[in-house]
Amino acid sequence: MRDPAGPALIVGASGGIGGALYQHLSRERRVVSISSQAKCRADWFESDYSESSLENISESVDCRFSLIIICNGFLHGDGLMPEKRVVDLEPRSLALAFERNAIIPSMVLKHFRTHIEQVREAHCGVLSARIGSIGDNRSGGWYSYRCSKAALNMIVKTLAIELGRTHKNLALVALHPGTTQSNLSDPFLRRSSHQRASAKITAQRIERVLTSLTPLDSGGFFDWQGNSVQW
């Protein structure tokens, strides 16, 4: 399904991938952005990502979107790092991961779903991670991140079923962006042998894969090459 280059919404636009998506998409279309950091740009909204904040922004936005990409994510910070063993697991790390990786994206989808109604073609991608795949988990560890991304995947799948009844032209999917150079991944790239891409390249890949999908793909989980990822 070809994206008609209508307005786009980027949530989490101050991050590495989100910022690159803004730079990439704003060349060809109107882009509305939401981030935790204020920017002196048109159509840029600062949010603490509470439900009330997201609802207020949704009510103040005056357009419908043909493209929505949700980039929020939490892997480390606030003194927390991915857990290697269950003895490292803390309630605070689980709660923070679920809030940032699952709850915030679900509230965005809840309040912005009306902005993709009656759009000729609509694509909505939520950045997940292959590490959130239950079937692909062969190494263990990273409890909070894995569990919160698996929860996000279920939210995407369940909402895609619901919206499929009313939003016939929508492709709503979870996306694995691949290993990308960013503040999220930098502490781990030094020890990793995985190929990594710049945020600019990742942004281009995300747009290409997402806008190539059709409503028949809605509810799926895809990687940056367009391949299906097992749940």
Three-class DSSP labels, the chain: CCCCCCCEEEECCCCHHHHHHHHHHCCCCCEEEEECCCCCCCCEEECCCCHHHHHHHHHHCCCCCCEEEECCCCCCECCECCCCCHHHCCHHHHHHHHHHHHHHHHHHHHHHHHHHCCCCCEEEEEECCHHHCCCCCCCCCCHHHHHHHHHHHHHHHHHHHHHCCCCCCEEEEEEECCCECCCCCHHHHCCCCCCCECHHHHHHHHHHHHHCCCHHHCCCEEECCCCECCC
Q: How many domains does the chain have?
A: 1
Residue with the larger pLDDT of the pair 108 and 14: 108
Q: What tokens were used for 136?
A: 């692909």
In contact, 224 and 173? CB cutoff 8 Å: no
131 located within any domain: yes
pLDDT of residue 80: 74
pLDDT of residue 156: 98
Task: Indicate if the pLDDT at residue 4 is higher than 60.
Answer: no
229 located within any domain: no
pLDDT of residue 196: 82
| 66-109 pLDDT tens trace | 999 999 988 877 767 888 899 998 999 999 999 999 999 999 99
Identify the bridge partners of residue 126 per DSSP, sorted by sequence position. 70, 174
Starting at the earlier edge strand, list the strands of the sheet with 31-35: 44-46, 31-35, 8-11, 67-70, 122-127, 170-176, 221-223
Task: Tell me the C-alpha distance between 154 and 202, whole Å.
Answer: 24
Task: Tell me the C-alpha distance between 201 and 225, whole Å.
Answer: 12
Counting residues of the chain whose pLDDT is more than 70, the rounded percentage is: 92
**CATH at residue 198:** 3.40.50.720
3 located within any domain: no
pLDDT of residue 225: 96
pLDDT of residue 120: 87
Task: Indicate if the pLDDT at residue 190 is higher than 80.
Answer: no
87 located within any domain: yes
181 located within any domain: yes
pLDDT of residue 119: 87
2 located within any domain: no
The count of residues in the chain is 231
Position 39 confidence tier, pLDDT thresholds 50, 70, 90: confident
230 located within any domain: no
**Average pLDDT for residues 45-74, to the nearest whole number?**
96
pLDDT of residue 2: 52
Question: Across the chain, what does the average pLDDT equal?
Answer: 91
Task: Indicate if the pLDDT at residue 192 is higher than 70.
Answer: no
Question: What's the domain range around 147?
Answer: 8-223
pLDDT of residue 76: 72
Residue with tokens 């920017």: 39
pLDDT of residue 182: 66
Position 183 confidence tier, pLDDT thresholds 50, 70, 90: low
231 located within any domain: no
